[in-house]
């Protein structure tokens, strides 16, 4: 097998040079622990978090490697659909387990975390090194507009319907399917707009350029497939243990779904976004932060609603807890407010992080019954 070292080299090299990937060592530990001590929820929770983080990093890297090999349009499309594969797989696992509260909290939390924490920390880290930073505001505007559209889709059904009778439940379900199709269509048209008809306006937001030697296509595809399966397996341990572990740590379920799951799922993207910001390549950071947020809102969430008909124990709807809708709406408005100038300084990052801290603090202190 003389080809093996050649094929494995980039993956091994990646693992050797990226300390995050050393956490892969926890992968076998999770499965052993889950088999031997299925009741040790806190331990399983910690181990599964430690195992998901490097898997997410690998997944993100493999997606970008495939995207880089397949040319601009297909690559952009791949990034746009698989960019949040980790979040999707975790949510699918929770969906199969019928934990719709966790699915919705993690979806809303991922939107909020990407918009406020990821963008805010990028602006802050970039701003501590560079006095004023500029970025392509056309892309920021497109992504915040898409995010705003998704917020409207979340908001209107709750605003219009007040009672909670049988008629309302059927209404919500039918409406959720319709809105999901609409959102996915809007997302698709947004891709046509930014990748095809008006791509000259979006030149700045190049996510795939990481300056490293690209992986061969075969390796990338194999990694993509294999790691997705591994994430799915670990997610099962994670989803089963997260609620009870949270109780042990004194966290509310809302805090866990919104903050912890979102931070775990987005760890890989954070690394890229922060490094881009420090290198004064803010277009990369803004693209990752707002691109991920709009992708989750317009693609992952509606996809979960549609998939719930196939794999869930019962159909899931798009109606979110009012507090979650308010937070997503505030996030979209904040992102619009701070990105309208296309310029950034450290305090803009502080502002975004403060809004995030207000959310996190509120959810952390919230009495458990109300979520």
Per CB under 8 A, residues contacting a copy of itself are: 131-132, 141-142, 145-146, 148-149, 152-153, 155-157, 159-163, 167-168, 170-171, 174-175, 178-179, 182, 185-186, 189-190, 193, 197-198, 322-323, 326-327, 330, 333-334, 336-338, 340-341, 345-347, 350-351, 354-355, 357-359, 361-363, 365-367, 369-370
As a dihedral over the C-alpha atoms of residue 191, residue 193, residue 199, residue 204, rounded to 10 degrees, the angle is: -60
Taking the least distance from each CB to a copy of itself, the nearer of 18 and 161 is: 161
Q: Which of helix, strand or coil describes residue 203? A: coil
Residues 6+ apart with CB under 8 A from 260: 49, 242, 246, 251
Using the Cα atoms of residue 13, residue 62, residue 231 and residue 46 in order, give the sign of their dihedral. Answer: positive
Distance CA 238, CA 55 (A): 13
CB of 329 to a copy of itself, least distance (A): 10
Taking the least distance from each CB to a copy of itself, the nearer of 38 and 178 is: 178
Taking the least distance from each CB to a copy of itself, the nearer of 44 and 353 is: 353
Return the structure tokens found at 165.
């009778």
CB of 120 to a copy of itself, least distance (A): 12
β partners of residue 133: 344
CB of 260 to a copy of itself, least distance (A): 17
Contact (CB, 8 A) for 291 and 140: no
Residues 6+ apart with CB under 8 A from 362: none
Taking the least distance from each CB to a copy of itself, the nearer of 123 and 238 is: 123
Taking the least distance from each CB to a copy of itself, the nearer of 22 and 347 is: 347
Contact (CB, 8 A) for 150 and 303: no
Chain-centroid distance, C-alpha 31: 24
Distance CA 83, CA 273 (A): 13
Taking the least distance from each CB to a copy of itself, the nearer of 97 and 345 is: 345
CB of 221 to a copy of itself, least distance (A): 32
Distance CA 181, CA 186 (A): 9
Taking the least distance from each CB to a copy of itself, the nearer of 140 and 300 is: 140
Q: Which of helix, strand or coil describes residue 343? A: strand
Strand spans (E) along the chain:
133-134, 343-344
Query: Within a 10 A sphere around the Cβ of 299, how many other Cβ atoms?
Result: 25
CB of 330 to a copy of itself, least distance (A): 6
Taking the least distance from each CB to a copy of itself, the nearer of 144 and 272 is: 144
CB of 287 to a copy of itself, least distance (A): 17
CB of 49 to a copy of itself, least distance (A): 25
CB of 39 to a copy of itself, least distance (A): 29
Using the Cα atoms of residue 67, residue 68, residue 74 and residue 77 in order, give the sign of their dihedral. Answer: positive
CB of 325 to a copy of itself, least distance (A): 9
Taking the least distance from each CB to a copy of itself, the nearer of 37 and 174 is: 174
């Amino acid at each position: 097998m003389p080809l093996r070292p050649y094929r494995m080299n980039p993956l091994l090299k990646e693992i050797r040079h990226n300390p995050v990937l050393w956490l892969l060592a926890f992968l076998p530990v999770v499965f052993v622990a889950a088999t031997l001590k299925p009741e040790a929820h806190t331990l399983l929770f910690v181990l599964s978090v430690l195992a998901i983080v490097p898997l997410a990093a690998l997944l993100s890297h493999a997606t970008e490697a495939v995207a880089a090999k397949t040319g601009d349009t297909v690559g952009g499309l791949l990034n746009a659909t698989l960019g949040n594969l980790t979040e999707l797989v975790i949510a699918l696992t929770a969906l199969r387990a019928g934990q719709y509260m966790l699915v919705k909290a993690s979806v809303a939390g991922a939107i909020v975390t990407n918009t406020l924490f990821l963008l805010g920390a990028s602006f802050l880290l970039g701003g501590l090194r560079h006095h004023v930073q500029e970025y392509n505001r056309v892309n920021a505007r497109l992504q915040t507009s898409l995010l705003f559209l998704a917020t409207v889709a979340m908001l209107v059904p709750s605003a219009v319907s007040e009672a909670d009778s049988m008629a309302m439940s059927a209404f919500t379900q039918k409406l959720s399917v319709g809105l999901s199709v609409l959102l996915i269509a809007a997302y698709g048209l947004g891709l046509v707009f930014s990748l095809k008809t008006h791509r000259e306006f979006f030149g700045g937001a190049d996510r795939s350029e990481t300056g490293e030697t690209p992986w061969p296509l075969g390796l990338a595809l194999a990694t993509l497939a294999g790691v997705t399966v591994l994430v799915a397996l670990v997610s099962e341990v994670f989803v089963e243990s997260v609620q009870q572990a949270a109780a042990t740590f004194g966290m509310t379920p809302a805090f866990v779904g919104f903050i912890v799951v979102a931070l775990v799922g987005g760890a890989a993207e954070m690394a890229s976004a922060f490094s881009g910001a420090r290198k004064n390549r803010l277009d990369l950071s803004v693209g990752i932060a707002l691109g991920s947020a709009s992708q989750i809102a317009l693609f992952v969430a509606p996809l979960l609603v549609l998939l719930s008909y196939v794999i869930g124990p019962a159909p899931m709807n798009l109606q979110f807890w009012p507090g979650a809708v308010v937070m997503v709406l505030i996030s979209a408005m904040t992102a619009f407010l701070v990105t309208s100038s296309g310029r950034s300084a450290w305090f803009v990052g502080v502002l975004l992080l403060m809004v995030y801290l207000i959310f996190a603090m509120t959810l952390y202190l919230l009495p458990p019954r109300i979520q």
